[in-house]
Amino acid sequence: QKEVEQNSGPLSVPEGAIASLNCTYSDRGSQSFFWYRQYSGKSPELIMSIYSNGDKEDGRFTAQLNKASQYVSLLIRDSQPSDSATYLCAVNRGGGSNYKLTFGKGTLLTVNP
């Protein structure tokens, strides 16, 4: 069973702190990794993607990938109350032109003012 695991949370951090969200996956052949943010009652919106081992930064967000250990993480620097949402990790398990993603259940982040 190919799975994507996330701590359901809630993860609570004070405003201005660094929030660290983690995700592990079971399919060692996975190639693409995504983080989505989902506000309550809304659809997921893409934060960033990562394909290679190491760090990828985009503004206050940094994604980290370690394929050997099969984990991907998302760091949010200078957390803001507006970052309070559920964060979904997704992993590509398909190939060719059919890109099928497997999602974790998400981690609920609460940023306290």
**Could you list the residues that contact another protein (CB under 8 A)?**
32, 34, 36, 41-46, 49, 88, 90, 92, 94, 97-106
Q: Which is nearer to another protein, 35 or 79 (CB)?
A: 35
- The Cα-based distances of 81 to 31, 70, 112 in angstroms read 32, 30, 6
In the complex, minimum distance from the CB of residue 78 to another protein, in angstroms, rounded to a whole number: 25
Kind and range of the H or E run holding 42: none
C-alpha dihedral sign at 62, 91, 1, 10: positive
C-alpha to C-alpha distance for 76 and 60, rounded to whole angstroms: 6
Residue 43 or 69 with smaller CB distance to another protein: 43
CB of 83 to another protein, least distance (A): 19
Minimal distance, residue 51 CB to another protein, in Å: 9
